[in-house]
Structure formats: structure tokens, C-alpha cells
Amino acid sequence: MSNSTLSSVSSESRRPFALVANRPLLELRNLSTHYVSAQGTRVVRAVDDVTLSIDPGKTLGIVGESGSGKSTLALTILRVLPPAARIVSGQMLFEGEDLVRKSDAEMRQIRGKRIAMILQDPMASLNPLFTVGDQIAEMMRVHEGTARATAWRRAIDLLKSVRIASPHTRVTQHPHEMSGGMRQRIVGAIGISCEPRLLIADEPTTSLDLTIQAQYLNLLRDLQREHGLGLIFITHNLGIVAKMCDQLAVMYAGRVVESGPVSRIFNAPAHPYTAALLNSIPRMGANRQRLTAIDGQPPNLASLPGGCAFAPRCPQAFDRCRMEAPPSIALGDGQTARCWLAPAMAGTATRTGVQ
């Protein structure tokens, strides 16, 4: 049994494309990342028992309030966590390899080269003292041993591909000489410079104004199509999710409370929190019902209530919710939700079992 598995893995790696197509690009299984205080007295479950997967070339959107663990999840995947944070359990299978078990040196070769990330603040994420060309070329030089001149030429090409005008002059400029939108495109160029398989974008458009936002999203989509990139898109903007994503995961208090295909979740949210989020976005042309805000405060991760974390704010909570945290319930078509009412809310969906 184990022998045959091994041989199938090796044959997969020999003929990557044919067989890999139905294997997820990245699969997170029961992943938990906790912050532990210096005295070890306090534990914050920033990422708690997260199970997710993303297919090659597809886009996964992750939404949630600030502090819901979205960014920590992204940093966990790349294992660039603050000193106080620890991955305490779970697996991260990237193209079949478990990233949790990689050594630091192995991980360093994956970062930037096979999984790249775009940070949310374009003003702060470029080093003010080096030219943008240097900052783009640097990564190719480190990962691929590209010669200085070649890397520099490719940096110019990359600037072209992220649609920066007169790349030959821009490449020798420093970040402060450019606008925010331009800088974010440069960060994007750095992200794709080593042709990664997976790109994680952490709220890449929050600090850009609206027209630039749209341009940037189009750019990302084009890049994704050209390079066959898997894309994880972290945002709190459901409009962007509708436009960009195939799959959606909703995070609340460190947990994925609902996940599944975007179209399915938008039509039939199975978690009251998702439903509330969807209700809080204005829709053009739709019936002019009142927008509802979610009552109450986002939870304090250091002192979560027992039971479902959303229960204190949930209009439909009942006794069981406060006693017992619901497991992830599969609802068919790849939709799952952590809510006792999920089967009922998803309407026609039937409870097909607990994952």
C-alpha cells in the first residue's frame, strides 16, 4: 500500500502536468498558529484549525474583519511569523510537500521563488534606500543566480509587464520618486519575478484610490492568466471577491467559518456571519432594503467565549451555540460552514457529514 503510494508520487513528479491537475496547489489541513506571551501564560489562537485548499491557476479569496487571523494565516503559509507566534499543529501541503516540516533553509528557497507575497502597504514595503531595479533584480539573483546585467534587464521587462511607463528610467529610481499605485505595481513585479506557482496578496489595494484599484485588479488577473498563478486574495471587500475569486473562505476569530465556491456562498450563505457580511454591502439595482450592520464588537482573541465565537453577536444563536463550538459541516459542492444552523440555512443543502 505505502509502496504503491510512493511510486505514484514519483511518477507524478516525472509527468507533472497530466496528473497534478486534480491535486490542489496548496492544501492546509487543521492548521493552527498561536501567539504565546513571554511568560507562556497567555495564548492567542490567531489561526485555529484551518482547513482550506486552492487549485493551480485559481483564486481563493479570504475575507474577515481585521484581527480575524487573515494576515497571520498568510504569514504562516510562508513561515515568516513574529517571534511570539508558533505553528502548533496541522499540515501545509504545497505541491505535495509539507511546508510545516521544511527546514529554515528549505523554506527560504520556497519564499519568493515558489510562493510570493504582496504586502498591503506599498508605501512601506519597499526599502527607501535602494533603487526599485535593485529590489526587483535582487530576488532573481538570490534564487536563480542570475547575473547582475541579466537580472537588471529582466527587471526592466517586469516593469513593462506591470505596465509602468518608461521602465528604463524608472528602474534606476528610488521608491519615494513614485506614486502609491506605481509602487504597488512594483511590489507586484517583485512578486512575479521568479515566476512563483502561488501568489498571496494581502489587501493589496486598500491604500490605493478607486480607479487605481480597478487597474491593479485587472493587472493581477492578467498576470494570473499569463503565468498560471494560484492566487490567494486577502481582503475585507466582498465586491473584490465577487470580481476576482473562484473560491471564498470567511474567517472569524481565527477560524474559517465558511468556505466554498464564491457563487454558491453569495447565493446561499450558510453561516449567519457570512450572511451579515453580504447584507452589509450595498448592491446596485437590487431591492432597496436597509443595509444591516453587524452588532457588537469583534471578539478579543485572548479571551474567546466557550462555544461558537460568533454566538455573542449572532441574531440566531441558541443555547447549544454557547455550549459547544460547531464543527465544520460539509454542505455539498465544496461548501462547508461552522454553524449548527448551516444545513437549514443552506436551504436545499443536506447535511452530508462532518469533515
Partner 1 sequence: MSTSTELGVLPARLPARFSFIRARDFPLIPLLILGIIAFVAVFADVLAPYDPEIGSLSARFHPPFWQAKGHIDHLLGTDHLGRDVLSRLIFGARVSMVVGFTAVIFAGVVGTTLGIISGYLGGWVDQLIMRVTDAWLALPALTFAIFLAAIVGPSEMNIVIILALVYWTRYARIVRGEVLSLKEREFVRLAIVAGCSKMTIMRRHILPNVVNSAIVLASLMLGVVIVAEASLSFLGIGVPPPKPAWGVMLSDGKQGLMVGYWWLTVLPGCCIMLMVLSANLLGDWLRVKLDPQLRQL
Partner 2 sequence: MKQYIVKRCGYSLLSLFLLSLTIFFFVRVTGDPATLLAEPGASEADIAKIHHQFGLDRPLVVQYALFMFKLAQGDLGQSFYYQTPVFELYFSRLPNSLLLAVVAMTFSLLVGIPSGILAAVRVGTFWDSAGKLFALLGLSLPSFFVGLLMILFFTVYLGWLPSSGSGTPLHLVMPAFALGWYFAAAHMRLTRSSMLEVLGSEYIKLARLKGLPQALVIGKHALKNALIPVLTLAGINLVLMINVAVVVETVFAWPGVGRLLYEGVSFRDFPVVQGVVILGGCMIVGVNLLVDIVYALIDPRIRLEA
Chain residues that interact with partner 1, rule: CB under 8 A: 35, 37-39, 41-42, 44, 46, 66-67, 71-72, 82, 84-85, 300-302
With CB under 8 A as the contact rule, the residue among 5, 10, 14, 83 that binds partner 2 is 83
Residues 122-181 that bind partner 2 (CB under 8 A): 124-130, 138-139, 142-143, 176
The whole-angstrom separation of Cα 98 and Cα 29 is 10
| HEC sequence for 218-274 | HHHHHHHHHHCCEEEEEECCHHHHHHHCCEEEEEECCEEEEEEEHHHHHHCCCCHHH
Residues 51-80 that bind partner 2 (CB under 8 A): 78, 80
The whole-angstrom separation of Cα 167 and Cα 136 is 12
Q: Which does 125 bind (CB under 5 to 8 A by kind): partner 2, partner 1, none?
A: partner 2
Q: Which does 143 bind (CB under 5 to 8 A by kind): partner 2, partner 1, none?
A: partner 2
Measured from the CB of residue 109, what is the shortest distance to partner 2 in angstroms?
Answer: 6
With CB under 8 A as the contact rule, the residue among 187, 208, 262, 317 that binds partner 2 is 187
Buried b (16+ CB within 10 A) or exposed e, 136-161: bbbbbeebeebeeeebbebbbebbeb
Q: Which does 301 bind (CB under 5 to 8 A by kind): partner 1, partner 2, none?
A: partner 1
Residue 110 engages partner 2 in binding (rule: CB under 8 A): yes
Residue 185 engages partner 2 in binding (rule: CB under 8 A): no
Measured from the CB of residue 294, what is the shortest distance to partner 1 in angstroms?
Answer: 18
Measured from the CB of residue 96, what is the shortest distance to partner 2 in angstroms?
Answer: 20
Angle between helices 148-161 and 180-192 (to 10 degrees): 120
- Residues in contact with 285: Cβ distance below 8 Å, sequence separation at least 6, in sequence order: none
Measured from the CB of residue 184, what is the shortest distance to partner 2 in angstroms?
Answer: 12
The whole-angstrom separation of Cα 153 and Cα 333 is 46
Q: Which does 323 bind (CB under 5 to 8 A by kind): partner 1, partner 2, none?
A: none
The nearer residue to partner 1, 123 or 302, going by C-beta atoms, is 302
Q: Which three cell numbers stand for residue 127?
A: 526599502
CA dihedral 7, 9, 13, 18 (to 10 degrees): 100
Measured from the CB of residue 85, what is the shortest distance to partner 2 in angstroms?
Answer: 13
> Pick from 46, 93, 90: which is nearest to 70 by CA?
46
The nearer residue to partner 2, 170 or 271, going by C-beta atoms, is 170
Q: Do residues 57 and 229 make contact, with C-beta atoms less than 8 angstroms apart? A: yes
The nearer residue to partner 2, 86 or 108, going by C-beta atoms, is 108
Ordered DSSP codes for 91-153: EEEETTEEGGG--HHHHHHHBTTTEEEE-S-TTTSS-TTS-HHHHHHHHHHHHH---HHHHHH
Q: Which does 284 bind (CB under 5 to 8 A by kind): partner 1, partner 2, none?
A: none
CA 279 to chain CA centroid, nearest Å:
23
The nearer residue to partner 1, 35 or 152, going by C-beta atoms, is 35
Q: For binding to partner 2 (CB under 8 A), which residues are involved?
A: 38, 78, 80, 83, 108-113, 116-117, 119, 121, 124-130, 138-139, 142-143, 176, 187, 190
